Amino acid sequence: MDQHAQVLIAGGGIIGSSIAAALVERGVRDVYVVDLDLHGNYASSELNAGGVRATWWQEVNIAACRDTVAFFQQHAEEFSFRQRGYLWLYDKRELFETAIERRRLQQRLGWNVEILTPNDVRQRFPHLDRGLDQLVGATFAPGDGLVNPNAVRRFYRERAEAGGARFLNRHYIEGVETVEREPGRRRVDVMHVVEVVKGDPADEARTIEKILTRHRIPPDETVAHPSIRTELVVNALGAWSPILSSKLGVRDVAVPVRRQIALVDVRERDLPPGVDLAQLGMVVDASCVYYHPEGPYILAGYSSPAQPSGYDFNYDGDSFFQEEIWPRLALRSSAFERCAHIRGWSGLYSVTPDRSGVVGAVPGFSNLIEAHSFTGRGVMQSRAVGVGVAELICSGRYETLDLSPLASGRFTQDPSTWVTEDLHI
C-alpha cells in the first residue's frame, strides 16, 4: 500500500534532521525522513572532527555558521559545546594577507577574529615551540569551538519526532517516478523505498556499508518495498546526493572524498611546564594538519591533496599516522615528539567545485529541493540551513538568512560567480 508524505527528506544526517526539526517548528506534521543509516555509523557529520567555526572567507558561509554557533551556545550543555576558539597558522604571506583582508568582512558580520604575530603565538600557546620563525602570522577566533555532532543530530531528530516527523531507518530509495505536468517542469511523484533486512548487528553493518559504497541492494536482503507518494522532496543525502540526483536525471557536481582522522596519545611528561593540552580549542597548522583535545587524547586529521574521489571508508592505520600526522605535529611542537597512535577512522566529505554547499530549489522541478555537499561544513551550518530550507518550503522564500548564493545554478555560470571557499581543511 502506498504511503503519503507532505515532505519527504532523503537523508537523516545532521542536515536532514535539522530540516525536519525546523519544519515541525512551523507546523508541518506530515514529514518522512528516509535513511539507510540513522545510527550514523557512516554519516559524514558523525565521523568528522567536531570543530565549529564562523571563520570563513565567504559571506554566506560566515553568516550561516555564525547563526548556527549562536544556536549551539543556547544549548551548550546538551551539545557539549566548548567555545575555545580556532587558531590558524600561516606560513605563506599571500594567504595571511588575504586572511587579514577577510577579517574586515568577518568583523562586519559580527565575528571577532584576532590577528597574531609569531611571538603572540609563542606566548599564548606555549606547546607550540618549534618552527615559529617559519610563520608569517596567525588568526585566532575566540567564538569558534568544539561540539558533539552526535548530540546535535540527536537533538534535531528528537525535536522533529516530538512534532510528528517519521524517521525510517534501514530504508533505501531504490527508484523514483516523476511526471511532467507543465512543459519543461517535472514533479517527483513517487519514491520507491526498500527496507534492509534486520539481523545480527555486525552483519547489518557490513550490509549497510556495501550498499553505501556499491549503491545496490541484493533482493534477499530486503523485507519490504513501500512506495511513498510525496508533495515535496528534499535531497539531503550529503555525500550520496549524486546517487539520488542521477535517478532523478539531475546534474550533481559534488563528489565524495575520503577524510581520515587519528587519535593520538601524548605523554604528560613530554609537555612543557604548565602546558595543558586539554584546554586547547582547534589548532590548524600551516601544514594543514589540524588537531584538538578529545577526552584523554588528541584528535588529529589531515587530508591529502592527492586523495581520489570515491566511496571509501578504509582507514590506512599506523601508516597514515606515521606518514601524514606525526611529522606535521612534531614539526611544530616538541610535545608530539614521542606521541603514539591509538586508532582512527575515515569518513566522507561531499566536495563541490567551489567547496561551498548546495541549497535551494532544483531547476526544472516544481517540488524538489536540495541541501547537501557542505564540504565539511554540515555541522557548523546545520541550524541555519535547516531553518532556511523550512522557510523556503513553507513561505517560498528565505526569511532569516539569504542562502540563495548557494543555489546549484551557480555552477552553470562563470566561476567568478561561485562561492569559492579557500579556508577549508
- For residue 216, the model assigns a pLDDT of 84
Last residue of a domain, one of 351, 368, 395: 351
Give percent above pLDDT 90 in the chain.
85
Task: Name the band, by pLDDT with cuts 50, 70 and 90, for residue 245.
Answer: very high
306 lies in the same domain as 390: no
180 lies in the same domain as 268: no
- Write the pLDDT tens digit of every residue in 74-86: 999 999 999 999 9
Q: Rounded mean pLDDT of the chain? A: 94
- pTM score, two decimals? 0.96
160 lies in the same domain as 249: yes
Domain contains 168: yes
Domain contains 307: yes
- Please tell me the least confidently modeled range out of 68-72, 180-184, 306-310: 180-184
Last residue of a domain, one of 335, 351, 367: 351
Domain contains 56: no
Average pLDDT of the segment spanning 109-113? 98
Rounded CA gap, 177 and 229, in Å? 9
- For residue 147, the model assigns a pLDDT of 97
Last residue of a domain, one of 351, 376, 397: 351
- Write the pLDDT tens digit of every residue in 183-214: 889 999 999 998 887 777 777 888 889 999 99
- In Å, what is the CA distance from 110 to each residue of 106, 125, 141, 421? 6, 25, 11, 19
Domain contains 384: yes
Domain contains 423: no
266 lies in the same domain as 138: yes
Which stretches of 190-295 are DSSP H helices? 201-214, 241-248
- For residue 387, the model assigns a pLDDT of 98
Rounded CA gap, 304 and 317, in Å? 15
304 lies in the same domain as 361: no
**CATH code of 175's domain:** 3.50.50.60
- Write the pLDDT tens digit of every residue in 35-61: 999 988 899 988 989 999 999 999 999
Average pLDDT of the segment spanning 354-368? 97
Nine-digit cell at 89? 597558522
Instruction: With a cut of 90, say whether residue 2 has pLDDT above it.
Output: no
Give the burial class of 132: count Cβ atoms within 10 A of its Cβ; 0-12 exposed, 13-18 middle, 19 or more buried. middle
Query: Are the C-beta atoms of 370 and 234 separated by less than 8 Å?
Result: yes
- Please tell me the least confidently modeled range out of 212-226, 293-307, 380-394, 399-413: 212-226
Average pLDDT of the segment spanning 386-393? 98
Give percent above pLDDT 70 in the chain.
99
Of 372, 343, 345, 149, which is closest to residue 259 (Cα–Cα)? 345
Rounded CA gap, 290 and 55, in Å? 15
- In Å, what is the CA distance from 98 to each residue of 57, 290, 423? 9, 20, 10
- For residue 294, the model assigns a pLDDT of 94
Question: DSSP assignment of 361-394, as one string?
Answer: EPTTBSSEEEEE--TT-HHHHHHHHHHHHHHHHH
Domain contains 425: no
The DSSP H or E segment spanning 77 is helix 76-79
- In Å, what is the CA distance from 197 to each residue of 36, 166, 204? 11, 19, 8
Instruction: With a cut of 60, say whether residue 1 has pLDDT above it.
Output: no
Instruction: With a cut of 80, say whether residue 222 has pLDDT above it.
Output: no
Task: Name the band, by pLDDT with cuts 50, 70 and 90, for residue 276.
Answer: confident
Average pLDDT of the segment spanning 236-265? 96
Rounded CA gap, 6 and 352, in Å? 29
Expressed as residue numbers, the domain containing 219 is 3-46+150-253+353-417
